[in-house]
Amino acid sequence: MEKQHYVFIDFEFTMPEGRGNPVGFYPEIIEVGFVSVVNDSIKEQFSSFVAPSKFKTLTDRCKKFLSVQQRQVESGMPFTELVDLFKKMEADYPMTTVVTWGNMDMKVLKQNCQKAGVEFPFKGKQVDLCMEYKRFFGDQNQTGLWKAVQAYGKEGTGKHHRALDDALTTYNIFKLIEKDKSYMKKHEPTTIGDRIDLSKVLNHLAL
């Protein structure tokens, strides 16, 4: 039987100094955190800084927002090494489902792969858990990761905007949503036909 493998991923990116992007700027992954789950059991937790290759000097805004230092990202793993790590994971578990909160993580990963001239590492299913959450609860607004977990009466894991902590929080929300989905399937509203015996009603009307 094929093993069911989920990988919950979160990235942190470089940021421009101001609100507008300077000419040629694109966000680069500078931190990765992921949780590998096989058959509902955590098999691996991974965290690392990633060295940017194009815009190597972090802006003050980026350092302040992410509470990260220049020396930390400079000592991080090369981006191509990160891609190789994901490729090996996909090879080990062909039925891999990638889960992220929002679509930005996979968009930036794809763009970074294009800029680096390397193949996008994931071929399996990709799930935007934020959209799943919105569909399930009927929330029309964009919901932040930690706001979503707090709506469950829980708190996020560790510190927000640290990649592994956010990946773990994404995994925790996933479990909560799946539990709710399972509950809803088992407790679907009964129809009027379930509540009364229609045959008795029809027999009565025929008299």
Q: Is 12 a catalytic residue?
A: yes
102: left (phi over 0), alpha (psi -120 to 50) or beta: left
Cβ burial of 102 (10 Å; 0-12, 13-18, 19+) is middle
Report how far apart the first and last C-alpha atoms of the chain are (Å, whole number).
59
CA 164 to chain centre: 11
Q: Is 178 a catalytic residue?
A: no
List the catalytic residue out of 5, 155, 161, 188.
161
- Which of 125, 115, 117, 48 lies closest to 90 in space, CA to CA? 125
Q: What totals of helices (H) and strands (E) does the chain contain, helices first?
A: 9, 6
List the catalytic residue out of 5, 12, 28, 31.
12
User: What contacts 24+ positions apart, CB below 8 Å, involve 150-158?
Assistant: 152/176
The catalytic residue positions are: 12, 161
